[in-house]
Chain A
Amino acid sequence: MATLLERNPNGLYCAQGDFDIDPWSGVDRAIITHAHSDHLYAGSKRYLTARAGEPLVRARLGSDARIESLEYGASIQINGVRISFHPAGHILGSAQVRLERQGEIWVVSGDYKLVPDPTCAAFEPVNCHTFITESTFGLPIYRWLPAGTVMDEINAWWRSNQQAGRASVLFGYPLGKAQRLLAGVDSSIGPIYAHGAVEQMSRIYRASGIPLPAAAFVRDAPARTDWTQALILAPLMSKNSAWLRRFGRMSTGFASGWMRIRGTRRRRSIDRGFVLSDHADWPGLMAAIEATSAERVWVTHGYRAPMVRWLAEKGLEAQLIETQYEGERDEAGGATGAGGEAETGADGEPNGTDEV
């Protein structure tokens, strides 16, 4: 079996094509699955990404970066390797990268989820020989309820906060999660406000044609704003900041797959955890892997060791790949390192590296 990708100090490297996928330092040519900060590092000479994700990649890298893009499904050849992007369903413009050379097909999943999300194109299974999958939530304890059910919980929480006269502050990853929340909550309940980090990203979504309800910038709100009726979308990193104090009496919520576990919910001292993730749950990971018909699976992100063992017991050639991908650090409950390796830092607090 030909090897199209290998691990090198920058991550996943294709020697025949001389390019890297989601490298974590500057290279000549970077193929980018999506704009989350653990997949997109500055400093490469050229970037190639899915067209739908280009504005987000641009917003992160700045106007000087050299960024090229391809429509989903379209392909180009680089040194004899055919490259194409296929929707990953993770966030706007997120893509799986398909590589083909002399009939050998590899797919790098990037981050993905299988369930529908109105803010991005739906995951599309791609047949391949080798599938490199994430496994952020690679344990069977991770099983999501339909997003609609979770949105109902959030709406109910928002309404009961209104009745109790307290603001509803909902934390979530500012790129992807926040827009999915914005699109999913019932905006007729009350006014929606957003932290700057969220609203900047939402604007790119709207400019890309994704309909999202209006959310006012918190910082533009007049001093005597009544917050008790409002839903405020904010990144988790604002949780312990002075920024939060203006809302007065409030209930805090956090939308994340990690909220599935009571311990992570409780130690965050957040009032409500909503189990909503942009990553595949365990059944989703299994379905995605099966749909590729791959014989070989490389596993990155999160609970890799149990996934590898599970797949191997199912007769697949599975292998654990060290990466620096972190599966949305602000979701990490300090317990992402499965299989006995070092786990992420103190309580996996929100990543300060998220500069948007």
Chain B
Amino acid sequence: MRAFADLYAALDETTKTNEKIAAMSKYFSTAPPEDIAWAVHFLIGRRPKRLIETRKLVGWAIEEAGIPNWLFGESYQAVGDLAETMALLLPSAQASSDLPLHYWVEERLLPLRAWDDAARRNSLIDAWRQMSEGQRFAWNKLITGEFRVGVSQNLVVRALAEVSGVSTAVLAHRLMGDWEPTADFATQILAKETADADVSRPYPFCLAYPLDGSVEELGAVGEWQIEWKWDGIRSQLIRRGWRTFLWSHGEELITERFPELEAVGGLLPEGTLLDGEVLPWKDGAPLPFTQMQRRIGRKELGGKILAEVPVVLLAFDLLEWNGEDVRERPLEWRRQKLEEIVAGTASDGHLVLSPVLDGTSWEELKSTREQARARGVEGFMLKRRGSPYRVGRKRGDWWKWKINPYSVDAVLMYAQPGSGRRASLFTDYTFGVWNGDVLVPFAKAYSGLTDDEIRQVDAFVRNNTIEKFGPVRHVKPELVFELAFEAIQRSSRHRSGIAVRFPRMARWRTDKKPEDADSLDTIRALLPKE
């Protein structure tokens, strides 16, 4: 546990990528495989299902700290992070645990779920007593399921590659899919030999960069394959070993949620892997995303919802063909095989080929792009002809050329602290627009501001609180922000009657007064016609 707590502290202390990689490499090259497996598991953001109610955990920490409840509350207010507050309040550490990470996880953490409260309490208090303050902090983070250290999977892969000498593409693949954090697994991920055999495992997704400059800088139109950018759930549909797996980009196995697509998988040739977007779809066009949310929200998929919100896989790439990894083959080759496969699959309309658009000039495409909103897509995808299917987000071969987002000026109404490294700052905001002379909450947004701006807003919130509801502050309506969002729908679940997609702060309108913000009527005018 000592090495792991040190790793956590080292990762937490730096924002520099190479220092984070160095800290992880150091850990991976010295820790036993049983520990490496768990460390990788936690570092890439996997976490056990909830082990214990936070309320109970906090209760025992308070008891052990020997302070009243209210004083814990005051302390938490100052710290902004539960695991840290507990670590800081427990009696001064007298020890430091030499026991390995896998012991703590397998013998002490995971069993918590099964134990009764008395056993949990004893075990947790005993654990705290054996640990240093840094260890307690990391441990508390594991228990509360809030273990986040600001490393992406990509960074973990780079560190593993440094230690093992295996390429990052192979390692990224090895980390995907369903695996158990065992010593065997750790040995496998670091192993030189690359005949990986897990049938369910997807490939890392190739991600597009948003186009920042002008499209003309990309060179001739002819060098690019152009498709619509669909707004669905990016997924890989896998047919291997006569079984079907559907993986989302969030690395969730979602096969069971989409029986239509599981059926499609059964029709594919053995050893096929398609990349595409899962979309709610009717009459040859996507349904609004709120429909998909309605479907995802269901525990049971009844015949009614399946009929009302059918889905398709809009396929645009082929990564495995006849059991062979074809990611290195050029785009045109993959596209041609993909077309053959789609044509040969009697999918009853559930497997759709993402069409390739013609365009002889960027000018012509710009005018085609104007139809995007009406078609329910987000713009274009530009893929360089001849390019391989790359791992992760790499500049150069795949670009997303989105239509300009909607934008609205809205007033900051509520703020609450963020999580993880932003826990001591007010970073999560609710914005309102005018309905007559009252502000109606309209969208929540977390991102889009610089650190400096966040600090300024944080200070504003602290000094202009009208009311508190738990962690939420109702603030004086004074700050105006331009919000950008991708799509807009009617919604009965929102007080404003409107739901927007991917709202974010485009900029802080310090030049505007709250009365200059937009009204609900202006926003309603953006809604698609009924």
* Chain B neighbourhood of A339, CB < 8 A: 74
Contact check: which of B13, B85, B421, B468 meets A141 at CB < 8 Å? Answer: B85
Q: Which residues of A256-276 are within 8 A (CB) of B?
A: 260-267, 269, 271-272
Check B459 for interface membership: any CB of A closer than 8 A.
Answer: yes
Q: A260-B88, A271-B13, A347-B459 are in contact. Are A139 and B75 (CB under 8 A)?
A: yes
Q: Would you call B79 and A141 a contact (CB within 8 A)?
A: yes
Q: Would you call A346 and B455 a contact (CB within 8 A)?
A: yes
Check B372 for interface membership: any CB of A closer than 8 A.
Answer: no
Check A309 for interface membership: any CB of B closer than 8 A.
Answer: yes
Check B423 for interface membership: any CB of A closer than 8 A.
Answer: yes
Contact check: which of B12, B14, B92, B462 meets A262 at CB < 8 Å? Answer: B12
Per-residue interface assignment for chain B, residues 89 to 106, with 1 indicating a CB less than 8 Å from any chain A CB and 0 otherwise: 100100000000000000
Check A76 for interface membership: any CB of B closer than 8 A.
Answer: no
Q: A271-B14, A342-B462 are in contact. Are A309 and B456 (CB under 8 A)?
A: no
A113 to B45, CA, bound (A): 42
Residue of A nearest to B19 (CB): A271
A261 to B133, CA, bound (A): 13
Q: Measured between C-beta atoms, what is the minimum distance from A22 to chain B in Å?
A: 25
Q: Would you call A345 and B459 a contact (CB within 8 A)?
A: yes
Q: Would you call B80 and A347 a contact (CB within 8 A)?
A: no
* Chain B neighbourhood of A355, CB < 8 A: none
Q: Would you call A306 and B421 a contact (CB within 8 A)?
A: no
A102 to B421, CA, bound (A): 55
Q: Would you call B68 and A263 a contact (CB within 8 A)?
A: no
Q: Measured between C-beta atoms, what is the minimum distance from A277 to chain B in Å?
A: 15
The number of chain B residues with a CB under 8 A from chain A is 33
Q: Measured between C-beta atoms, what is the minimum distance from B30 to chain A in Å?
A: 18
Q: Measured between C-beta atoms, what is the minimum distance from A225 to chain B in Å?
A: 25
Check B15 for interface membership: any CB of A closer than 8 A.
Answer: yes
Q: Which residues of A290-338 are within 8 A (CB) of B?
A: 303, 305-306, 309-310, 313, 334-335, 337-338
Check A140 for interface membership: any CB of B closer than 8 A.
Answer: yes
Check A124 for interface membership: any CB of B closer than 8 A.
Answer: no
Contact check: which of B14, B74, B423 meets A306 at CB < 8 Å? Answer: B74
Check A29 for interface membership: any CB of B closer than 8 A.
Answer: no
Contact check: which of A139, A272, A347 meets B74 at CB < 8 Å? Answer: A139
A139 to B79, CA, bound (A): 10
Q: Which residues of B446-504 are within 8 A (CB) of A?
A: 451, 455-456, 458-459, 462-463, 468
A263 to B417, CA, bound (A): 11
Q: A260-B88, A313-B68, A342-B463 are in contact. Are A269 and B79 (CB under 8 A)?
A: no
Q: A141-B88, A143-B88 are in contact. Are A262 and B81 (CB under 8 A)?
A: yes
Q: Shortest 5 CB-CB distances between A and B: which pairs?
A: A263-B424, A346-B459, A141-B88, A306-B74, A343-B462
**22 pairs, CB–CB < 8 Å, chain A vs chain B:** A139-B74, A140-B75, A140-B88, A141-B78, A141-B88, A143-B88, A143-B92, A260-B88, A263-B79, A264-B424, A266-B12, A266-B421, A267-B425, A267-B451, A267-B455, A271-B13, A303-B78, A309-B71, A334-B455, A337-B462, A339-B74, A345-B459
Interface set of A (CB-CB < 8 Å, partner B): 139-141, 143, 260-267, 269, 271-272, 303, 305-306, 309-310, 313, 334-335, 337-340, 342-343, 345-347
